[in-house]
Structure 1
Amino acid sequence: MTLLAGLLLMPGARAAAQSYSDSIYAWQHHYKAEFLVTEKSPLTAADTGFIRFYPPDPAWKLPARFTLREDRRDLLLPTYNHTSKPFREYGYLDFEIGGTGYRLFVYQNVNYMTTDSLHLFLPFTDLTNSETTYGGGRYIDLSVADIRDGHILLDFNKAYNPYCAFAGGYSCPVPPPENSLPVAVAAGEQQFAGTVRE
C-alpha cells in the first residue's frame, strides 16, 4: 500500500472507530436506563451516575468460533446468596486474546426459555476482578440469532455487572470455574463507584 493510499484510508478507519464507540455509548445509555424501568432494580436514577465503564475499545470485540454442545444438560448454577438457578448448557466459544486461545461456555436460563429462547448467558471472571471491576465477575448477553456459520462476535465492551455488585439480597449466578480467564479484560463495566446497599 502506498503512503497516499494509507492516508486516504485513515479518515475512513477513524470514522469506523468513532461509529463503533458511539454504538457502545448508546449501549451504555440503554443499560443505565433499564435500571429505571426494571422491577426490583437495585439502583435509583441518582445511583446510575456512579456506573463506570472502560472507554470503548474495538480491540475487545473478538471473533469467536461457536460450538453447540451435543449433551445440553440442565444444571444448577450457585448464586452469591447461597441459592441456585437452573440453566442449560448450550455451547462454548473459542477465541484469541493476544494470540493465545481461550474458551468460554454459554448457557440458557431455563426460567426464560419459553419467553426468550434465543438469549444466551455468558458469566465470566478475569484478572481485573476486585481491582477495577466487580470481584464476583461479570456477564455478557448473547443471542442465538447472532451466530453465523458457527461464528459469533464476542464483545467484552458489553460486559456488565450482576445486581449483586450494587446491593445485597439478589440471586446472582456465580461464574463457573471453567469461565475464569487468566487475563485482564480491560473492557466493559467497571466497579460501581457508589454505595453498595446491604
Structure 2
Amino acid sequence: MKKFFALSIFLLLTSCVSQSPKNALAEIEKFQNELNAEYKNPKETPLRGTDFENFKNHPFFPVDLKYRVKAQFMKTENAQPFEMPTSSGKAKTYVEYGKAQFVLNGEEFTLTIFQNIALSQQPGYEDYLFLPFRDETKGIETYGGGKYMDLRMPKGNEIILDFNKSYHPFCAYNAYDYSCPIVPEENFLQTRIEAGVMYEDIYHH
C-alpha cells in the first residue's frame, strides 16, 4: 500500500510537464497544421472523391495542456513479436515496447505502447512507437474505433503523452483502402479524452 501511495504521489507531481506552455502549444499547432496539410495532399490523403474535395481542415478539440502528461515509463523486457488484428482482418507484426502509467483528472491509468516491427526497419523510424487507445468520447465526438498517437523511444523512465496530438486512423475516413490496427482492450480508457482530432458528420460512413 505504501508503494502504491508513493507511486500515486509521484505520478501526480510529474503530470505537470516541465516544458514551457509556449513550446507545448507550438508543438500542437505544428501537429495540427501538418495533419491538415497531409489530408489536403492528393498523394498522401486517405480521402477520396467528394470527401477530399470538401475537406478544409480537421475539427479539433480546444487545446488543453492538462491532456499533455508526463507518464512513468516501464520498458517491457523480453517481449516477443505478436500479430495485432487490423480492420481488414489482416494482422500486422508488433512487439510490446513498454507501459506508460499516468494520472489524469485524479485517476491513474496505464497504456501499453507498441513498436511496429516492419516500420522500425525503415530509415528514420528506428525509434518510432505506436500508441492506440479508445476513450469515452468514442462514437460521439471521436471515431468509434479509437485514436492513435505517435511517440519516440524515451531515453529514461519518463515519456510525454500529449493527447492533443492524437489522431484518427485512415480507416476512419476510408475503410476500403486501408488496414488499421484495432485498439487492444487493455488500452480502453474509462474516461473522456477531450483532446486531439474530432470527428464530423461528413466522415461518418
Tell me the TM-score normalised to structure 2 length: 0.80
Instruction: Report the Cα offset of residue 177 of structure 1.
Output: 0.4
Matched, 1:174 2:182: yes
Preserved contact between residue 68 and residue 90 of structure 1 (Cα < 8 Å):
yes
Matched, 1:113 2:117: no
What is the aligned counterpart of 1:191 among 190, 196, 199? Answer: 199
2:137 is matched with which residue? 128
Deviations 1:42-99 (A, max 9, x none): 1266444252110111110001011110121111111112221111111110001122
How many positions carry a matched residue from both structures?
A: 180
What is the aligned counterpart of 1:143 among 135, 141, 152? Answer: 152
After the TM superposition, which segments of 4 or more aligned residues of structure 1 sit over 4 Å from their partners? 16-19, 36-40
1:29 is matched with which residue? 33
Aligned residues: CA RMSD: 2.0
Residues in 2 aligned to 1:154 and 1:54: alpha-carbon distance in whole angstroms: 16
When residues 87 and 151 of structure 1 are mapped into structure 2, their CA distance, relative to the original with a 3 A threshold, is same
Instruction: Report the Cα offset of residue 113 of structure 1.
Output: 1.3
Once the two structures are aligned, what percentage of the paired residues are identical? 32
- Structure 2 gap ranges (5+): 1-19
What is the aligned counterpart of 1:43 among 42, 47, 71? Answer: 47
SS in 2 for 1:29: helix
Residues in 1 aligned to 2:111 and 2:64: alpha-carbon distance in whole angstroms: 20
2:184 alignment partner AA: P
1:58 is matched with which residue? 65
1:141 alignment partner AA: D
SS in 1 for 2:112: strand
Instruction: Report the Cα offset of residue 196 of structure 1.
Output: 5.1
When residues 18 and 114 of structure 1 are mapped into structure 2, their CA distance, relative to the original with a 3 A threshold, is closer
When residues 37 and 72 of structure 1 are mapped into structure 2, their CA distance, relative to the original with a 3 A threshold, is farther
Instruction: Report the Cα offset of residue 195 of structure 1.
Output: 4.1
When residues 40 and 32 of structure 1 are mapped into structure 2, their CA distance, relative to the original with a 3 A threshold, is closer
Tell me the TM-score normalised to structure 1 length: 0.83
2:136 alignment partner AA: L
Deviations 1:108-127 (A, max 9, x none): 11111111110000000000
